Structure 1
Amino acid sequence: MSEANRDDENAHLLGDEAMHQPGQALKLGFVAGVIQRERMPGFERMLWRACRGNVFVRQAQIEAALEDPVSGDQVYKSVFIIFFQGEQLKTRVKKICEGFRATLYPCPETPPERREMKMGVMTRIEDLNTVLAQTQDHRHRVLVAAAKNIRTWFVKVRKIKAIYHTLNWFNLDVTQKCLIAECWVPAADTETIQLALRRGSERSGSSVSPVLNSIQTREAPPTYNRTNKFTQGFQDLVDAYGVASYREMNPAPYTIITFPFLFGVMFGDFGHGIIMALMAGWMVWKEKPLAAKKIDNEIASIFFGGRYIILLMGLFSIYTGFIYNDIFSKSVNVLGSSWRNCFRVEEIEHSDSETLLLPPENATCYYGVPYGFGFDPVWQVASNRVTYQNAFKMKISVLLGVAQMLFGVILSVYNYRYFRKFSDIVTMFLPQVLFLLCLFGWLCMLCLLKWIMYSAPFNPTTPEEIRYGTHCAPSLLLIFINMFLLKDMNADSKGSGLGEEYCDGYLFDGQKGFQYFLLLIGVLCIPWMLIAKPALIFWQRRNAARSQLPATNGDVAAPTAGGGGGGGHSDDEEFSEICIHQAIHTVEYVLGSVSHTASYLRLWALSLAHSQLSEVLWTMVLVRGLSLTQEYWGGILLYIIFAAWAALTVSILIVMEGLSAFLHTLRLHWVEFQSKFYSGEGYLFIPFSFEILLKEADSED
């Protein structure tokens, strides 16, 4: 190749402005930097086109992700170096690097300078690492020191915020240069609040002494019930139905006893009650450690919040289980059975079952003295055990239900007295209590009389023993139904067997006429409830209109608006609305007395279901499982069978049955009991309390 052609080729490679001349040394410039990895292909393409191929590019990928100083995101980059010749290409390359947001770094041209620069960079990196390590160590020490006080700081900040938030509700009196606030204060805490205000004024060095005055208002005050950790759960159950109006009768103190007792009636089992009581007792024992953990699970926190309720429910279940003589569907002979076996072993082994139905002549199987407490354990093997227990539990359910409803009606008197509705005692309370006593109270009396008057003699001889024996025991259901149908019991009283001529279907002489008298009073109570109160209001308004005085509804004005098991009526309410309201209330009470009494039969139904389910679980799992084998590996099988029985007992009989009994007990209190006197139309008094504020803040965190 000639010299001219070689020069033309060099001119083409290096550009028109950098022609190689003979005798001159070739000198290349270069730039280095980093660029995002995804921009590298376009960057190389732009360099080739803009520089017409007169640049030489080398690039290498950086494996580690780098942090973007602007966005803070992790990005991957590539390092590059670009060789060129001439100042025009240098300017063009730098502009392209700036357009692609590449970061250029200075790099010396000679190797010694590059080595020196590298050593300087390494030194600076080591210095920066040292500074970073010392900074991190200092930050760690500061954070550790702050962590010791962070809880205290949070508490102080939240208290200060709560104080200033409350101060924002104050009114500023510019003339007196003082703050004025209106708030609700418990009457029992008035002296304590005055002392606290005086102490705060003295500590702040204020020259103005605080003044606490009671003002009159027509606004209904909030309801404040003082509770502790034991009564709080029961009060929450009542407040879930509705907060009591101010000074309205609070059902919570009575619920503390009636709620776990009615639960025990449905859940009566000595063994299951012990397990429930032990679980609740453990939560009570570990109360402070568990409360400090701040349980996040909602179900666990509900169980922990109701630990005292569960404890009482377990204790009452033990009590009723001892009455039922029911321990995991089995009975124990603690006090000695009142029955004995009347047959000899030879008679049992050599006789058919039909010949053993009656005891031997002149022999008795019953000692004549009842079992000391609860059910006799002999009922566990009796063929009529379920029939006997059903009759007993059904009558007990009616007795408990009518007693609780009657108690609820009596509590309404206290509401009438406080709210100055004295006329409602005559127009509402008296007909309600007479209606309940004359009908369903009489049914309870029949149950008690039948238990007291009738017995089961083996050989009745006298007419008195025959009449009050098993042959003439009347059906209480028939007596109660025929009482409403005005039907004589003589047609249904004739039985079969010995002494049927002595049976008349009644418990005592004169019962028929006495029942008609009670029925008449109960029927007359219905128009009494329906008409008396509207008629009294109409008469009062007419007299007030004649005398041109404002009507007062017959009573002194109530201190506050509130409930009272029927409610009152304002003076501006239309008389037609009063009549409609009273008619609805009368129908609701009359029909509710029937339905509520029947609703208490759930005590019997759930108790029967629990005992039968417990017996089925015992028979189907333990008894059948243990009878499978008697080999040496029966011990392992016993372990597995008992574990299955224990798991089913806890999950089904205690958890599921316990929850079912709890909900039914809650319904009995909300509907059947509280509806007799409780309206629950008030609102809660929430005092300013740092403890409440901090608990709410912790729950939000």
Structure 2
Amino acid sequence: MSESEAIFRSAEMSMIQLYIPNEIARESIYSLGSLGLVEFRDLNKNVNQFQRTFVDEIRQLDNVERQYRFLIKLMEENGITPPETLAEDYEASHKNALTTSQLDEIIANAQILEERVTQLADASETLLKKQIYLKQYQQVLSTSDRYFSSDVSKDLNELNENENNNSSDPIETPSSSSSSSNFITGVIPRDKIAILEKILWRVLRGNLLFKTFEIEKQMYDKKAKEYVNKNTFVIFSHGEMILERIRKICESLDADIYFVESDSKLRRNQQVQINDKLTDVTNVLETTNLTLQTELRVISSEIDDWIKCVKLEKSVFVTMNKCHYDLNRKCLIGEGWVPTDELLNIQTTLEDCSNQLSSNVSSNVPIIMNVVNTTKTPPTYHKTNKFTDAFQSMCDSYGIATYREVNAALPTAATFPFLFAIMFGDLGHGFIMFLAALCLVLNEKSIGRMKRDEIFDMAYSGRYILLLMGLFSMYTGFLYNDVFSISMSLFKSGWEWPSDFKEGDNIEAYKVGTYIIGLDPAWHGAENTLLFANSYKMKLSILMGFIHMSYSYMFSLVNAIHFKSMINIVGNFIPGFIFMHGIFGYLAVCIVYKWCVDWVAIDKPAPSLLNMLINMFLAPGSVDEQLYPGQATVQVFLLIAALICVPCLLLIKPLWFRHQLKQKSIALPTDDVENDDNNLLSNLDIVDDEEHEEETFGDIMIHQVIHTIEFCLNCVSHTASYLRLWALSLAHAQLSQVLWSMTIGSSFYFKGFGGSLFVFIMFGMWFVLTVCILVVMEGTSAMLHALRLHWVESMSKFFEGEGVPYTPYSFTSLLNEPAE
């Protein structure tokens, strides 16, 4: 694989310096944003954001974005959904930057639209409030007229008697002539009627007459901004002070108070006037709303394009604020990181932009681009395509690779679906997952243009991961000979039953050959099948784990060779390699050797490998059950080699650093010592290139002690961690078998039409549970375990993850960002 593809290692980066004439600065930055290859550095870090050169332009565009958000809010309130333009479609139709006059026109049009729509919205809101007021007034008049037309004298006399009997009450007693006008009418939400009545009863000590009537239709509530159930009410009492107190209590409970004449003729005149006003207001409101909605629909057809246009133009000015503005040269000076193999592309783009704009300016001043040598650490950039992007995102979620170190995403593209398939090995379940992923892959263009929710977008983004997971699961399911927990007899079995065998006889099958590939179907349903599968998958998981960790550890050698760090090879890789392979590599070889020996033929029990590994440390030189001749001598030699590697891991690198530091301090002047120390520490990968901190021998020693302890312990814990491959594989197989036997498997014993119907029902139940539990839930669990094996067990062997992500100024990234 060529280096230019930047998948095995990150792409080589170069820092460029741009000198852009002020006349064409905005258009040039716009062309670089369309290209999406330059990560601009902020050269004005010490300058306040509000004191930079192009703050006024950014404020204007911020105001335009606020105006567009206001228009969208009004559209949502009126049930209008503006069509959304896809980022790629917009970029294809807007390749060039707007002229200054076009940008000014957009700002002016946004102000005009806001004023026009605001006037219509305010008028509509005012008319709506007036309509609500008149409708409620109409209901109050109707219910009040109905109440007053009835015989109310009895209620009023009862109220007067209660008032006269309460001699200690300081409330003034009204005259009989004014008692008929001592009432308050209004409208209140229905859920507050009981509260109002209770408060008035306690405050006035029962000296009131309270009547309420339900309004059949729901009325709009201004405070709740929704239609609610309301009631009209009439409250009779004595005295202006008391009535004023009642008004305040009603208003505190969001009641609307209305004046109603006590005379029936005057009330009829009120009703006529209110009905006429309500008709006029309703007509004007409908006309205003129609005009507003028409205006908003016209705006909605283009507002998404306007938003994207303003967003890009604003990003141009934000990027220009990162550049240094040279008043003397009248140009912008910018710096940024770009991939080295894209330098020619960027140069060509700037030259084309300069030539296109030369006719609009008085003088043709070229754009100057220089490649700058720097000691700053470049950002990490891996070129990806639609297949590798999901795997790269998976590894970047754990950490960004250090610049130019081996990229963990490349091997992950093969090992992740395979380790998943070991835990999820079933031909049927893998086929369901493969079909689901295949649908996403075949329809990726149409789905990519759809608006997706978060969960569906995760599945779509990882469609190629799911496709490989399903494909690899079909392969491992074929090896396990499992199809929905049922075995297949594709080839002749290697086991046969005696000719006189009858069902129920306690006779064992005898071996006549070897099954061609995969697990023999004769094991399915055997009494010792679980014991056999346990032993087989447990040892297989140890082998897979050792292979996975070994090749991952080899990447640390590749990194050390690339960075020319011989001390890392001698002080870290070689002792670590001997330690890991002397113990766990030996265990892996013993597992394979034990499989290759026919222990039945030699009439010897197979030795326990777990006891062998324990005794290798606790009782070196003694072997209880010999696996092969000379086993004791080999184990003692490997144990001594592993123990020697521990002090080597601990001391070689720190002592070498101390020796080099002393040699340089003697041979070089003081100033040169500091520079050489920094280079030395950089080779040791201990300090950052941008901030060289003085590291002492004690610091290096502590760092190496931690590394040694962590490596030795991780060799044990990580090897044991791969046993999850065995545990989840057995759990998946057993759960699949239980689900089959509890649903469709038990329905085959029924016969006739009822039996057929029962089979149909059980099949539906089995299929739904299979997809939901075994494919989705079990698949998610296996995927998370496979992810952990890569993040922790594999990547910790070589991955530093101290890089900085490459985030170029790109319109594609800006347009795909979620809206605020």
Asked if structure 1 preserves the Cα contact closer than 8 Å seen for 2:425 and 2:476, the reply is: yes
Deviations 1:323-347, CA, capped at 9 Å, x for gaps = 1111111110112212222223xx5
Q: Residues of 1 paired with 2:512 and 2:589: CA distance?
A: 28
Q: Residues of 2 paired with 1:684 and 1:407: CA distance?
A: 26
Equivalent residues in 2 for 1:352-501, closer than 5 Å: 353-354=505-506, 356-357=507-508, 365-368=510-513, 370-452=514-596, 454-455=597-598, 460=601, 466=602, 471-487=604-620, 492-493=624-625
Q: Residues of 2 paired with 1:657 and 1:132: CA distance?
A: 58
Report the counterpart of residue 236 of structure 1 in structure 2: 393
- The alpha-carbon deviation at position 259 of structure 1 amounts to 0.6
Equivalent residues in 2 for 1:576-595, closer than 5 Å: 576-595=698-717
- The alpha-carbon deviation at position 372 of structure 1 amounts to 1.4
C-alpha change, 1:662 and 1:65, in structure 2 (3 Å) is: closer
Q: Residues of 2 paired with 1:76 and 1:645: CA distance?
A: 55
Equivalent residues in 2 for 1:285-296, closer than 5 Å: 285-296=442-453
Q: Residues of 2 paired with 1:287 and 1:35: CA distance?
A: 54
Report the counterpart of residue 751 of structure 2 in structure 1: 630
- The alpha-carbon deviation at position 540 of structure 1 amounts to 1.4
State the one-letter code of the partner of 2:497: N
Give the unaligned 5+ runs of structure 2: 1-133, 145-173, 188-214, 233-256, 260-271
Alignment partner of 1:546: what SS?
A: helix
Report the counterpart of residue 155 of structure 2 in structure 1: none
Report the counterpart of residue 334 of structure 1 in structure 2: 490
Alignment partner of 1:318: what SS?
A: helix
C-alpha change, 1:697 and 1:605, in structure 2 (3 Å) is: closer
- Out of 320, 330, 334, which is 2:476 matched to? 320
- The alpha-carbon deviation at position 663 of structure 1 amounts to 1.1
Asked if structure 2 preserves the Cα contact closer than 8 Å seen for 1:541 and 1:551, the reply is: no
C-alpha change, 1:520 and 1:189, in structure 2 (3 Å) is: same
C-alpha change, 1:137 and 1:444, in structure 2 (3 Å) is: same
- Out of 177, 199, 202, which is 2:352 matched to? 199
- The alpha-carbon deviation at position 157 of structure 1 amounts to 1.8
Report the counterpart of residue 12 of structure 2 in structure 1: none
TM-score (norm 1): 0.73
Give aligned-pair identity as a percent.
Answer: 39
- Out of 757, 765, 777, which is 1:656 matched to? 777
Tell me, yes or no, if structure 1 residue 540 matches structure 2 residue 660: yes
Report the counterpart of residue 343 of structure 1 in structure 2: 499
Alignment partner of 1:154: what SS?
A: helix
Alignment partner of 1:184: what SS?
A: strand
Alignment partner of 2:411: what SS?
A: helix
C-alpha change, 1:431 and 1:456, in structure 2 (3 Å) is: closer
Alignment partner of 2:542: what SS?
A: helix
Report the counterpart of residue 325 of structure 2 in structure 1: 172
147-156 or 660-669, larger mean C-alpha shift: 147-156
- The alpha-carbon deviation at position 580 of structure 1 amounts to 1.6
C-alpha change, 1:198 and 1:560, in structure 2 (3 Å) is: farther
Q: Residues of 1 paired with 2:482 and 2:135: CA distance?
A: 83
Q: Residues of 1 paired with 2:387 and 2:479: CA distance?
A: 27
- The alpha-carbon deviation at position 61 of structure 1 amounts to 11
Task: Please tell me whether Structure 1 or Structure 2 has the larger radius of gyration of its CA atoms.
Answer: 1
Asked if structure 2 preserves the Cα contact closer than 8 Å seen for 1:248 and 1:562, the reply is: no
C-alpha change, 1:35 and 1:687, in structure 2 (3 Å) is: closer
Alignment partner of 1:227: what SS?
A: coil
C-alpha change, 1:440 and 1:561, in structure 2 (3 Å) is: closer
C-alpha change, 1:343 and 1:582, in structure 2 (3 Å) is: same
- The alpha-carbon deviation at position 574 of structure 1 amounts to 2.0
Report the counterpart of residue 235 of structure 2 in structure 1: none
Report the counterpart of residue 217 of structure 1 in structure 2: 374
Report the counterpart of residue 183 of structure 1 in structure 2: 336
State the one-letter code of the partner of 1:608: L
Report the counterpart of residue 640 of structure 2 in structure 1: 520
Asked if structure 2 preserves the Cα contact closer than 8 Å seen for 1:266 and 1:607, the reply is: yes
Report the counterpart of residue 198 of structure 2 in structure 1: none
C-alpha change, 1:682 and 1:348, in structure 2 (3 Å) is: same
Q: Residues of 2 paired with 1:139 and 1:647: CA distance?
A: 50
Deviations 1:522-560, CA, capped at 9 Å, x for gaps = 111101001111111121122223224517889965889
Q: Residues of 2 paired with 1:220 and 1:423: CA distance?
A: 22
Deviations 1:275-331, CA, capped at 9 Å, x for gaps = 1111111222232333322223x3222222222211111111111111111111111
Alignment partner of 1:405: what SS?
A: helix
Report the counterpart of residue 510 of structure 1 in structure 2: 630
C-alpha change, 1:645 and 1:67, in structure 2 (3 Å) is: closer
Deviations 1:550-609, CA, capped at 9 Å, x for gaps = 178899658899689x99x97721211221221111011011101100111111111111
Alignment partner of 1:679: what SS?
A: coil
Give the unaligned 5+ runs of structure 1: 1-33, 42-48, 78-100, 104-117, 360-364, 461-465, 494-504
- The alpha-carbon deviation at position 637 of structure 1 amounts to 1.7
Report the counterpart of residue 813 of structure 2 in structure 1: 692
- The alpha-carbon deviation at position 415 of structure 1 amounts to 2.5
Report the counterpart of residue 596 of structure 1 in structure 2: 718
